[in-house]
Every structure is written in C-alpha cells, then in structure tokens.
Amino acid sequence: MKDFLESLNEPQLEGVLTTEGPCMLIAGAGSGKTRVLTYRIAHLMRKGVDPFNIMALTFTNKAAKEMRERIETVVGHDARNLWMGTFHSVFARILRTEAHHLGYPNNFTIYDTDDSKSLIRSIVKELGLDDSVYKQNTVYNRISAAKNTLIGWQDYLANPQLMGDDAANMRPEIGKIYRTYAQRCFKSGAMDFDDLLFNTDKLFKEHLEVLNKYQHRFQYMLVDEFQDTNLCQYFIIRKLAAVRQNICVVGDDAQSIYAFRGADITNILNFERDYPDLKVIKLEQNYRSTQNIVQAANSVIKRNRAQLPKNVWTANEEGNLIELIKAVSDNEEGRLVATSIFQEKMQHQLKFSDFAILYRTNSQSRAIEEALRRMNIKYKVVGGLSFYQRKEIKDLLAYLRFAINQQDEASFRRIINLPKRGIGDSTIDKIIVAANDHSISIWEVIQHANSFIGGRAAGPIDDFVAMIKRFSLEIERKDAYDAAFEIAKGSGLLRELYEDKTVEGLSRYENVQELLNAIKEFVDDAEREDKSLGSFLQEVSLVTGQDEDKDKDPEKVTLMTIHMAKGLEFRNVYMVGMEEDLFPSQMMLSSRADLEEERRLFYVAITRAQKRLFLSYALTRYRFGRLKNCEPSRFLDDIDQSFIKVSSKFSGVESTPPPSQYAKKLVSGMKKTVSSAPVNRATAYKPPTDFTPSDTSALQAGMKVEHPKFGFGVVAQMDFSGADRKARINFNDVGEKTLLLSFAKLRILS
C-alpha cells in the first residue's frame, strides 16, 4: 500500500483512509483532489470492496476516464467494473434497465439540446403562439430549470407563483408548452438531458423496491465537483446513500460558477446540516501555482460572504507579480496580448500550448483572434461548434436513432424527407396531427399511410417505412459499424454528400466518414462488451464539450471562456476584458449572490495559472455595434496591491499604488496619454472615406504613403531584420515613426 499512499500529504492521506460514514473534502484550487479521489477508490478496492459496489460521479466523461485509468495503474483491470461516470451517463445506465417502471422503453432515445429546442419550436407553432414571444431558448431554459428543481409539468401548472411569473413576463402559456413537451417526449420514447436526472429521482420516489435495490448495491458513493450539483442531483445521491451513509463529496465552494445551469451552492455550504456526524477534511496546499498567484486569489475570494473557511497556501516559489496590461481599445488589447505571448515564448523557450487566453464571453475572442493571426500565432478556440452538432452528423445520427426507436418524433421530422423523397411539410404536419388526434405513434400512422394520409405522398411514405424496417433488421444482425454503414448507404445520405463536389460538400462527406470511423473504433475496442448501435448512440449523446477536445496539433494557444477553463491549468494565463459591465457582467449585478458568483468566476480564472498571470482591460470597446467607454473592473481592486503591477513593457509605467486608487490612476493616466502626448496632433487628421490600405510587400524607401491616423509621410528606411518587416517613416505632422508592416495600414501614394 505504501507505493501510492506515501506520496500523499497528511490531509490527503486522511481523505483517502476515512472511508466509513459521511465525509466532505473541501479541496482548494490545485490541491490534488483528483489524486485523493483516485487513491480513495483504489484503497477501497485494496480493502476488498467489490468495484461493482462503488459509485463515483463526475461532471465530464473525460474526468471519469482519466480517473479510471489512474486507478487501473494501482489495482489493475478490475477498476473497469466501477460504476464511474457523469451523473447523466450513470443514471442513464440505471434507466436503461429500469425505465419500464415509468412506462418508457428501455431503448429510449436521448434528446440533445437541439432536439429539445426543435420540438419546442414545433409545439409553439402548433399551439398558434408567437415565436418571437415564446422563444425556444427561453422556453427550454424555463422547463430545464423546473426539472432541475424537481417540478414536473403537473406541479408547474398547479403552482400559482410560477404561473404568475409567466403571466407577468407576458408568457402565460409556458406551462401548457411544458405539458405538451413532456407528453410528446413520453410518446416518442425519448428523454432529454434533464429527464435523465428528473426521471431517476421519480423512479426512486415512486418505486421503493428499485431504490432499495440500488441502495444496497452501492455501498460507497463518491461525488466530484460537489459545488456544481443541482437540487435534483443532490436528492438522488442522498436517497442512494441513505442506508449505509458512506458518502464522500469533494468540492470547493470558491469554484461554484454554474448557477445559470441550475447548480446550487447551498448543497455544499449546508451539507453538514444533513449529516451532523460529517467528517470535514480540508485540502489547502496548492501544488499548481506560485505564491503570488495563490495569495492574490485568496485576497479576491475572501471578499465573498457566503463561503466555507479555508486557507489555501503553497510551498512553491514566490514567482512573478501579476501583470496588468492597459489598452486604448479592444483591438489594441488583442495586439498587446499577442505581442506579449510572442515575447514570453521567445524569451523563455516556451511552447504556444503553454498559453491560454480566457474571457468572460465568447464574443471577446474576435479581436484576440485577429491579433494572433496577424502575428502567425497558432491558436484553437475551445467551445466552438461541436462535431456532433454539425448538420450532416445529426442527419445520420437521426437515421440511426429512428432505426432503433420508431417512436422518436424529432428524428422522424429530420429524416422523413432527407434525401428529398417528395414528402413536404404539409404532409409531415398531417402525420403529426393524425398521431395526436388518434393518440397513437407516428410510426403507426405512417405504417398505414393510405388510411391516414392518402394522395401521392402515400407511396414515398410506404417506401420509407420499408427502408426503416430493413434497417432495424440490420441492427439486430450486425454490430454498430456494419449496421451504421448500411444505413448511411441505404438512406442515400452518403451518395448525396459524395456527389456534392463543392469544398463544403467534400468537408461534409469527410465528416460523415469520420463518424463512421468513430463507430468502427468503438466496435474494435476489445475491452467493450456491448458493441451494439444503441450502446454507441448512448455514448455519443452524453459527450460533453471537453470530451471532444482532440486537436491533432496541440502546439497552439488555447482560447476559451472562464467557464470552459474550469478544471484546467496552463503555465501562462491571460485574462482579458477586465472591465465593468463585462466582468463582472452587467447581468450579474442585481444581487449579492450574483456578484459573489462572478467573483468566484474571477477566482477560477486566477487559479488556472501556474507561473504567470496577465490581466488586461481596454478603455474603449465596441459592444452591440457601439463604441463604449470602459472603466477597469472592480475586481482589480479586490486583488491585494502587493501582488500586482502595471506592465512596464506596454504602458511605460510600473507602479503599485493602493488598490482603492490605482484603477482611477490608470484611467486618468491613459486619458492623459491620449489627450496630451505630442503624437495626438495626428488625431486631427481624418482619412478620406475611400481610404483603402495597400499591399505593403513591395514598399521601399522613398515612397510616399498615407496613414489613417498619422497622415502623409515618406518612407525613410526599411528594416527586414527579425520576424517582422518594419518601416521608418517621416510623417509631416507627427515626425518619425517606426511601424510594423504586419499591423500598419498604409496607402502607397507613389
């Protein structure tokens, strides 16, 4: 046992060895909680606990996979028998066995967010409601929030407060949409993501024999990232742990940042109320970051009132002070950040993968991306369009899903006329109406198309039914890959994509081939027992954004929102857009709870950094089509002044005035630079409306040029040394300037 226990510090070891009774590990940022969870499970198995009797819940499949692999290195292949995975994947596994108790087929379809919103859009249309009022995102989020707080449609309609809120918001029919949506999902044999939790709770509540079965199966329960659980998740795990009470939750209240998804921080703040004999263990040593970064983060988070007391510390080096970069505009902010990354990389022999740029909202990436491209710095944006959300992928997945579950209305709507087979929207509407009027499934309707539909559409519908029946037989006889290939070919999708010879068409065809490759990889996995198409589809439906990050060229700067960065770490981190109304967000200033969540988000951003942290802000930024004057974020004042300095590289200032004053000094200093420096005579110059920059690749000394800010000038000298071409230009009004031609906008006059 010493081989893995002796590497732990004292609190970590206590967390591993305290296996009986309720236990809460308060794990500060970078404190090695994954190691503790991993070794705790390995220790249980070494003690003789059957892995089939251990449930470990995480928030991403990636985290579960990494933990399982680490446990395997300690205890061997038996770790594969653990009930380990995300809340959704583990409870989907239970529902696959028990769903019949709730009237669902065991091969129920799992709707992703797009499927759910599409169905909501159809219901709004069928009910004759205004889709500009009942927007699909608004309705979807309202229904999701209800399910996460265990409010079914019946309770929703009977709740005067909820109905009153909807009426006050001019959306009084949301309850009716919720009822119709739930009924249609049930009739389609489908559950959305929230149903995987909501229905598990309902299963345990209404069928005590099923609950009793799993209470005795899972002798030990472990929950990672407990601060991110919602009410529904907490109720389920509390029910499961009620008999043996061997529940261990791991989390950090200071990193609770998902309230907008339904996460309830009171789950961790009040955990001790539900378990009076709770053992609390604090993991406070940070192994990730320098002392300056850790102490700066502490100085920020201590300003929150709602928190569990802890003192995070580190034995690492003191490290550099946090650097504050100030810029005139968001475009200049991007340029300064890109330049800093390039310089840091060259000076310290780093890789681009050592850098991450974090922002509050996705829209901030534009100026950053443009600056990185100008300097030929490779980057990747995490959180873009998911592979499994691309149209051609969803088209084939819909065929696969409908071939398995013919009650699936969302998949039916997607594929009935794809490729086109002469079945129009009016015919599809007739099918849906007939199914609703006769309280039967769409499959029953289309199997008797002549009786319900008639006309010219009956023939193509009969052909479609025959094709689906053929596909169903293929699924029964073949593994996932062979069946999927036959469906892709037999449906006509492969042929249609292959015949599209455009660049986009080729890309779509390659994407479908990549999906088939993924299915083949799934089938060829020797350790996988269930190689059925249904098993593959369930795995795909539960993939998260982080699980898909398989960039084949890792040597890139990472760009992502702070929410996406949770759980990650980088050597150097740039946090951009540190401005009021942007961070903290203007939407999060209405209550102390919201503001404290924003501060926790800032704490998460700070603690992603290992060696260097840079914070930047702009004095002006385009937002919603308008140029907006900005002021530094109040969060900059939260950082103890001894841990931060203004970047001397860019601003010409290096000082650490008191935190309550330096934000104002930075603003006034920047305004003074803009308003009084000699260069500002050029601001009087206004370029003509037809000003268009020239290609400067052939620029030579002696040429006359025009600059949109500095006016007219003559090139005095060209400099080709280093990575960038430079031009020294004598301008008529502002004198000599040396410009990087990769950035400068010049019009060559002669």
Helix (H) or strand (E) holding 111: strand 109-111
pLDDT at 525 over 50: yes
**Residue 44 confidence (pLDDT):** 94
Read off the pLDDT of each residue in 274-283 and give the average, rounded to a whole number: 94
pLDDT at 647 over 80: no
- CB atoms closer than 10 angstroms to residue 653: 16
User: Which has the minimum average pLDDT: 196-205, 247-256, 349-358, 389-398?
Assistant: 389-398
pLDDT tens digits for range 303-328: 999 899 899 999 999 999 999 999 99
Token pair 């309707």 is at which residue? 445
Pair type for strands 23-27 and 570-575:
unpaired
pTM attached to this predicted model: 0.73
Q: 565 near 390, Cβ under 8 Å?
A: no
Q: How confident is the model at residue 676 (pLDDT cuts 50, 70, 90)?
A: very low
pLDDT at 698 over 80: yes
pLDDT tens digits for range 93-120: 999 999 999 999 998 999 988 889 999 9
364 or 719: which leads in pLDDT: 364
Active-site residue numbers?
Answer: 33-34, 224-225, 255, 608
What is the DSSP code (8-state) at residue 60?
-
Read off the pLDDT of each residue in 144-172 and give the average, rounded to a whole number: 94
Q: How confident is the model at residue 650 (pLDDT cuts 50, 70, 90)?
A: low
| One-letter identity of residue 235 | F
Mean pLDDT of the chain: 86
pLDDT at 369 over 90: no
Read off the pLDDT of each residue in 45-65 and give the average, rounded to a whole number: 90
Instruction: State which of 389-393, 420-424, 581-585, 664-668 shows the largest mean pLDDT.
Output: 581-585
61 or 55: which leads in pLDDT: 55
Question: Comparing C-alpha atoms, which of 155, 206, 195 is closest to residue 179?
Answer: 155
pLDDT at 504 over 80: no
CA distance 254 to 29: 9
What is the DSSP code (8-state) at residue 632?
B
**Residue 649 confidence (pLDDT):** 53
CA distance 670 to 325: 12
Chain centroid to CA 24: how far? Answer: 26
Structure tokens at 644: 């931060």
Pair type for strands 109-111 and 609-623:
unpaired
pLDDT at 486 over 60: yes
Q: 326 near 617, Cβ under 8 Å?
A: yes
Percentage, residues of the chain above pLDDT 90: 54
**Residue 663 confidence (pLDDT):** 44
pLDDT at 670 over 80: no
CA distance 598 to 592: 10
**Residue 532 confidence (pLDDT):** 87
β partners of residue 85: 57
User: Which has the minimum average pLDDT: 550-564, 580-594, 663-677, 681-695?
Assistant: 663-677
Read off the pLDDT of each residue in 537-548 and give the average, rounded to a whole number: 69
User: Which has the minimum average pLDDT: 20-34, 150-164, 618-632, 704-718?
Assistant: 618-632
Give burial (CB, 10 Å; 0-12/13-18/19+) of 503: exposed
493 or 530: which leads in pLDDT: 493
| One-letter identity of residue 382 | V
Contacts of 639 (CB under 8 A, 6+ apart): 296, 299, 300, 322, 659
Residue 486 sits at the vertex; the CA angle it makes with 481 and 490, to the nearest 5 degrees, is: 155
211 or 440: which leads in pLDDT: 211
Q: 15 near 283, Cβ under 8 Å?
A: yes
Q: How confident is the model at residue 550 (pLDDT cuts 50, 70, 90)?
A: low
Question: Comparing C-alpha atoms, which of 380, 383, 389 is closest to residue 355?
Answer: 380
Q: How confident is the model at residue 677 (pLDDT cuts 50, 70, 90)?
A: very low
CA distance 85 to 263: 18
Question: Comparing C-alpha atoms, which of 639, 661, 662 is closest to residue 299?
Answer: 639
pLDDT at 683 over 80: no
Give burial (CB, 10 Å; 0-12/13-18/19+) of 716: middle
pLDDT tens digits for range 563-592: 999 989 999 999 999 999 999 988 888 889
CA distance 503 to 509: 10
